[in-house]
Amino acid sequence: MTTLDLVTHSPDGESRGLAFRVGDIFPMDPNLDLASEIDARATEARPWGLRFLVPSRGTGTGYTAAVLSVLVGAANVTSVEVDADVAARAVANLAAAGFDPLVVVGDGTDGHAGRAPYDRVHATCAVARVPYAWVEQTRPGGVIVAPWQPIPGYGWRLRLTCLGSRAIGRFHGTAGYMMSRGQRDVGRWNPHHYADASTTWTRLDPRTVGRAGPGFVLTVLGRCPGLGMFSMENDDGSFSLLMFERGAPDGSWASCDWEPGGTDYEVVQYGDRSLWDEVAGAFGWWVRHDRPDVDRFGLTVTPDGERLWLDEPVRGL
Ligand SMILES: C[S@@+](CC[C@H](N)C(=O)[O-])C[C@H]1O[C@@H](n2cnc3c(N)ncnc32)[C@H](O)[C@@H]1O
């Protein structure tokens, strides 16, 4: 029996190894059965079953490139891996399994213009924003599938259709992937200037807001630009919702704390923006729109950037 090493990088850059047999189906996510996913409906966020040029971003072990080679032929697969050692290992794995797709060492967020236009782009590392190069390099009518993780701790599966200078599509559930190299933001909540912060009280339970789910987080992303947010369940039973301006260590921040037995909850806010007020406003908007779940949201990508929408591309948040 032939065994191959499966080696990829953990999010902190360390390598891990696994062995598998040629012919094994090895889902990246142990909860997913790749074999059954191959027949998934075309509307789902899956690139499978497509017959044209399929580039894959994040070659890793070569496993995905091998699966795509089976599906569309190795000559139609281009795979981009940023790490030269990982790429070399993937080429060896692929050769041992009998596949020779083009493996390029480079930054997958630049795409690979040399073989454009592509019919399908399939990313197996997450992006904080969709690289416009992917839109430029995809044929009109072509599809981009990627894990979209614009803020630490949250991610969504995104399927876009390219329409010339723009790409439009919906979210299909959540995702939790290794971030693209160069887009790794650990996202810190830094309660600086505490003495200058203001304290108020609210009856809106921060647990209701913090646990509202991924559809609500998309609302926050669309209505509160640049805002990061995370929840803390504390050992003493208390709960804190923490908000901050992403990429601005001296920027605005806010916290809202729930204590067992309390009926009003303390809100502390610092800076030019009142981040709790923004999040509470976004929560009201989300409730007024019937608490939309992830599948009602979509994204449009243009040369000017990304724009979230609800239900249809003309309906912004
Ligand atoms: C989860 S693994 C992908 C696994 C891969 N699909 C497989 O079959 O093994 C993510 C890979 O993406 C690579 N990567 C991260 N950022 C990248 C980037 N900007 N461009 C290309 N590859 C990247 C990492 O080095 C890692 O090998």
Q: Which residues does residue 167 pair with via DSSP β-bridges, in sequence order? A: 162, 301
Packing angle between helix 63-72 and helix 84-96, nearest 10 degrees? 50
Question: What is the model's pTM?
Answer: 0.83
Ligand 1 near 79 CB (within 6 A): no
Q: Is residue 188 part of a domain?
A: no
Distance, CA of 124 to CA of 144 (rounded, Å):
11
Q: Which atom of ligand 1 is nearest to the CA of 8?
A: 27
Six-digit token string for 146: 């990627």
Ligand 1 near 124 CB (within 6 A): yes
Side chain identity at residue 228, one-letter code: G
134 plus 39 within the same structural domain: yes
Is residue 144 within 8 Å of residue 199, measured between CB atoms? no
Ligand 1 near 119 CB (within 6 A): no
282 plus 153 within the same structural domain: no
Ligand 1 near 266 CB (within 6 A): no
Q: Is residue 31 part of a domain?
A: yes
Range of the domain at 217: 194-288
The CATH number of the domain where 200 resides is what?
A: 3.30.160
Q: Is residue 306 part of a domain?
A: no
Q: Residue 30 has what pLDDT?
A: 36
* Number of domains into which the chain is organized: 2
Q: Is residue 19 part of a domain?
A: yes
| 163 CB burial (10 A radius; 0-12, 13-18, 19+) | middle
Ligand 1 near 181 CB (within 6 A): yes
**Last-in-domain residue among 116, 146, 174:** 174
22 plus 109 within the same structural domain: yes
Six-digit token string for 182: 């160069």
Q: Which residues of 124-246 form beta strands (DSSP E)?
A: 138-151, 154-163, 166-174, 198-202, 227-233, 239-245
Q: Residue 67 has what pLDDT?
A: 86
Distance, CA of 220 to CA of 67 (rounded, Å):
36
Q: Which atom of ligand 1 is nearest to the CA of 66?
A: 8
74 plus 110 within the same structural domain: yes
Q: Residue 17 has what pLDDT?
A: 35
Q: Three-class SS of residue 116?
A: coil
Q: How far is the CA of 292 from the centre of ligand 1 (A)?
A: 32
Q: Is residue 184 part of a domain?
A: no
**H or E element: which one contains 45?**
none
Q: Is residue 33 part of a domain?
A: yes
112 plus 80 within the same structural domain: yes
Per-residue pLDDT tens digits of the chain, which is 317 residues long:
333 333 333 333 433 333 333 333 333 333 443 333 433 333 333 333 222 345 566 667 888 898 888 888 899 999 999 999 889 989 998 999 899 999 999 999 999 999 999 999 999 899 999 999 999 999 999 999 999 999 887 899 999 999 999 999 999 999 888 889 888 776 666 778 989 999 999 999 999 999 999 999 999 999 999 999 989 988 888 999 999 998 888 999 999 999 998 899 999 999 999 999 999 999 999 999 999 999 999 999 999 999 999 999 998 89
Q: Is residue 143 part of a domain?
A: yes
What is the chain's length? 317
Q: How far is the CA of 45 from the centre of ligand 1 (A)?
A: 19
The CATH number of the domain where 78 resides is what?
A: 3.40.50.150
19 plus 162 within the same structural domain: yes
43 plus 96 within the same structural domain: yes
Distance, CA of 197 to CA of 307 (rounded, Å):
32
58 plus 116 within the same structural domain: yes
Q: Three-class SS of residue 291?
A: coil
**Last-in-domain residue among 111, 140, 174:** 174
Q: How far is the CA of 94 from the centre of ligand 1 (A)?
A: 15
Ligand 1 near 83 CB (within 6 A): yes
Is residue 86 within 8 Å of residue 108, measured between CB atoms? no
- Among 67, 77, 109, 178, which residue has the most ligand 1 atoms within 8 Å of its CB, making it the best to mutate? 178
